[in-house]
Amino acid sequence: MKVSISLLLFSFSAAAMAGAHISSKKISVINIHPSSGISFKVDGGHANPDNCPKNSWYRVNRSSNYEQAQLSFLMMSYSQNKKINFYLSGCLDDYPKVSYIQTAN
């Protein structure tokens, strides 16, 4: 019985934070704001795997130690017209939150 309850709770928590790997997207806009942090848009539609209330931007976690590195990576990719891959997990300020960013082939 305990195993069944644990599995049931795990399935609810996994469904609450679905997340998604987004592949081979070009950055169309980067926004840097003093209070909301770093946001960006990509060409094509915007994924919203966790059903965040808003999905017009992707948000970079401003409490991350890697925020400046992610900004540098985004700006380099944008300026060189390179595609990126990234992972969305949860919401930040009602927008899909980016967990990590990487180069695309």
Q: Binning pLDDT at 50, 70 and 90, where does residue 16 land?
A: low
CB contact set of 46 (below 8 Å; sequence gap of 6+): 55, 56, 57, 58, 96
Domains of the chain, each with CATH number or no CATH: 18-103 (2.40.50.50)
Tens digit of pLDDT for each residue in 21-70? 999 999 999 999 998 899 999 999 899 999 999 999 999 988 888 899 99
> In a 3-state reduction of DSSP, which class is residue 10?
helix
Contact 58, 40 (CB under 8 A): yes
Q: What is the DSSP letter of 62?
A: T
In sequence order, what are the beta bridge partners of 60?
98
pTM score: 0.81
